Chains A and B, each alone.
Chain A
Amino acid sequence: MTTKLKSFLPLLGIAALAIALLVVAPAVLSDLRLNNLAKYCCWAMVAVGIGLAWGRGGMLVMGQGVFFALGAYAMGMHMQLESVGDGGIPTFMILYDPLAPLPAFWEPFRSGAFTIAMIVVAPVVVASILGFAIFKRRVKGAYFAILTQALAVALATLISGTIKYTGGDTGLSGFTSFFGYTLDDPLNRRLIFTITATLLVGCLVVAWQLYRSRFGELLVATRDAEERVRFLGYDPANIKLVAFVVAAVMASIGGAMFVPIVGIMAPKSMDAAASIFFIAGVALGGRAALFGPVLGALAVGYGQSTLSEQWPGTWIYVLGLLFIVVTIALPGGIASLATRGAGLLARLRSSDRKAASA
């Protein structure tokens, strides 16, 4: 196989995934399962970003819930306002003062275009400010991990503590429409699934392109030997920043699509525990591989749904055990099974050849 061809192998994989998600899944899955799959796809988008930042860049982002929340709340606020109609205020605000004007930061979210823009711009701005300070100061490793986790906790607490403006711990819910399409219509939920799956494929394409670009090589180099990259004349801070920002945008898009799919957005879906859950899928799937994070996130989501249907109340033991066993036995995640399998195959083949030549 030529190297030229080999470098396009991932594209075949992405195409296969796209066909599986966009053609096969809608054809064979019930509305319920398709909606579940849509939810896993949101987590998978976050996972692709984590794969980039952690798997390739070595930054253990334990607070992706922050960016997930940026997208999710932007979308949630827009859908909430769309549901209450022109001039209305969200139901949860009525109690405190039925005649109060909408808080200023809510007002622009009446516009769908502004919302979509914010889903991308907000994580870019926040991640840039945050990342710039962190990476310039060379905060690394476990420090970085705990620091990002603390931010997820802080944001979750902030949302819980500002119930009059954000809906607090109970979150935003009671949505009826998504950019003009009623959520009650099964056809529209298929539409939302298709959009989500497409965005996931898009994220994968972006990750693939980044991985095979010179930037991808620099990112891995930074992960493995940051000082040497610096000596070569590059600023590792900038390289990491780009990966961090891209990961943040992916988390934000995942969060935005999560809201119309599950119908409720509360701090619980983005707090420290949720953020660790995002990482779990990535680690399980294999963080450095292109498909590892996606498959891991889909597997964890699917596993959670099916295990808990099978054994409500005890499934968590199984999931916990899975985390332990995979981390111990498969440091490279499930994806490493493929490479290991390929390696084994190659060895077998070469021994065959030896046997033949003997």
Chain B
Amino acid sequence: MFKSRNRMLSVTAAALTTGLILSSCGGATTKDAAPTAAPKSCVDTSGDTVKLGFLNSLTGGMAISEKTVSKTLHMAADEINASGGILGKKIVPIQEDGATDWPTFAEKEEKLLTKDCVAATFGGWTSSSRKAVKPVVEKYNGLFFYPVQYEGLESSKNIYYTGATTNQQIIPAMDFLKAQGVKTLFLAGSDYVFPRTANAIIKLYAAKLGIKIVGEEYVPLDKADWTTQVAKIVKAKPDFVFNTINGSSNVGFVKAYYDAGLSPKTTPIISVSIAEEEAPAMGHDVSGNYASWNYFESIKSPANAKFIADWKKYPGNSGVTSDPMEAAYDSLYLYKELVEKAGSFDVDKINAAAKKYKITFNAPEGLITLDGENHHISKVANIGQIQPDNQFKIVWSSGTPIAPDPYLKGYDWFPAATRDALVKAAG
């Protein structure tokens, strides 16, 4: 049956050997004393324009959330251009589609940095997309501005995180619950890294606050129905539900919650992923429940009034504004501030400027300040209660901006061994 096996093997072996000989002239190994230097930047800002890359999923499942972020970035670029650009140079945005596919994010980031030679990149949403981009942006010593609240425990000299880290969203939410006199808490989340990490932190902090966790449920991101899990909430009768479910999976959860007879009167939900955009898509009056964000459309400030008015005028807008949009908007302005303080588009000079100067922006959410060491942002934490018009009424606020603490160094209940190991792993 296999009379040609020997010949086949020899041909294959020959082909493989040839290839391996060709490839044996490899580069640096990890044992080499001096690794090859990072590729030289090809960014050219000598003209009167500067290219910036926007990397968002415009297709696939995550386009649900990321399309709006992309539009907000374009709006911010238009605004900055109208007021003279960055260092007098007009922004030329280059949009790429991450396609809800993490290898594609890596590919497009590399394309933006090495082919388009953009000065900085903006975008991403899921932790996977950020983790895919991270090695690329570090390798080419580029810049990536990430606009979404996330699980923290990360830092990179080439990434700026303009959304909240856990101590600016999750931990304040727990403080709020404590202030509300909550005794028992149920954790409901999607089955991926943000809810898992957030809930690990919540459990540690809850133990310190004396709040009892009476249940913890995870549902796969692509599963729609929450009825079985909500039945467990009904049985556990918690004072509050801490909801770390992502994006559109919230709808299945919220529907099942009301269908089971739960309501904010008995068992309110506090969410960290439901914002002004998502609330109307729930198909139910969700008023009375809570969300923890830094930005709400209802914040009264001249900067926010301008932001909202501009957005409503912007073609293809989604009507309302939300936290991730605002964080994306801020990211471009922070970049402008960084470049102008540094007097250059050079990444190393920008990072030096971030450390040397106090980089601030009068954002729609209030004055925000960049932390030059960990590349996160000081933000005010707010808890909003959903109103019947799907706007949020701020019922609790940290008042002053909270300094970003991605590794929770200032929190003694967070195990030092974990922190040290994570910091060490991050290098």
Interface residues of A (CB under 8 A from B): 18, 22, 30-32, 35-36, 39, 84, 88, 91-92, 94-99, 157, 160-161, 163, 168-171, 173-177, 180-188, 190-191, 194-195, 197-199, 201-202, 205-206, 209-210, 212-215, 218, 258, 262-264, 266, 268-269, 305, 308-309, 312-313, 315-316
Contacts and interface: CB of A to CB of B under 8 A. Distances in A.
Given A31-B114, A160-B221, A269-B103, A188 B135 contact: no
27 contacts: A22-B22, A30-B114, A95-B196, A98-B417, A157-B220, A161-B191, A163-B196, A168-B196, A169-B128, A171-B131, A173-B102, A175-B135, A177-B29, A181-B26, A182-B36, A187-B27, A187-B28, A191-B25, A194-B19, A201-B15, A213-B3, A214-B1, A214-B2, A263-B132, A264-B103, A313-B97, A315-B59
A29 B318 CA distance: 41
B29 A169 contact: no
A168 B191 contact: yes
Given A181-B26, A181-B30, A98 B36 contact: no
Interface stretch (B6-14, B247-255, B379-387): B6-14
Interface of B: 1-4, 7-8, 11-12, 15-16, 18-20, 22-23, 25-32, 35-36, 38-39, 58-59, 67, 95-97, 99-104, 106-108, 110-111, 114-115, 126-128, 131-132, 134-136, 139, 153, 191-193, 196-197, 200, 218, 220-221, 415, 417-418, 420-422, 425-426
A194 B23 contact: yes
B128 A171 contact: yes
A94 B135 contact: no
A201 B115 contact: no
A98 B421 contact: yes
A262 B16 contact: no
A188 B26 contact: yes
B102 A264 contact: yes
A239 B417 CA distance: 55
Contact of A205 (B8, B23, B135, B192): B8
Contacts of A312: 58, 95-97
Contact of B128 (A163, A188, A214, A264): A264
A180 B31 contact: yes
Given A170-B192, A185-B36, A308-B99, A264 B114 contact: no
A169 B192 contact: yes
A184 B38 contact: yes
Contacts of B136: 263
A311 B67 CA distance: 14
Contacts of A97: 418
B106 A84 contact: no
A186 B36 contact: yes
A65 to B, nearest CB: 13
Contacts of B420: 98
Contacts of A18: 15
Across chains A and B, which 5 residue pairs bring their CB atoms closest together, nearest first?
A: A198-B19, A187-B27, A194-B23, A185-B27, A262-B103
A322 to B, nearest CB: 15
B27 A182 contact: yes
A204 B136 CA distance: 31
Contacts of B8: 205-206, 209-210, 213
Given A32-B115, A202-B15, A308-B97, A262 B106 contact: yes
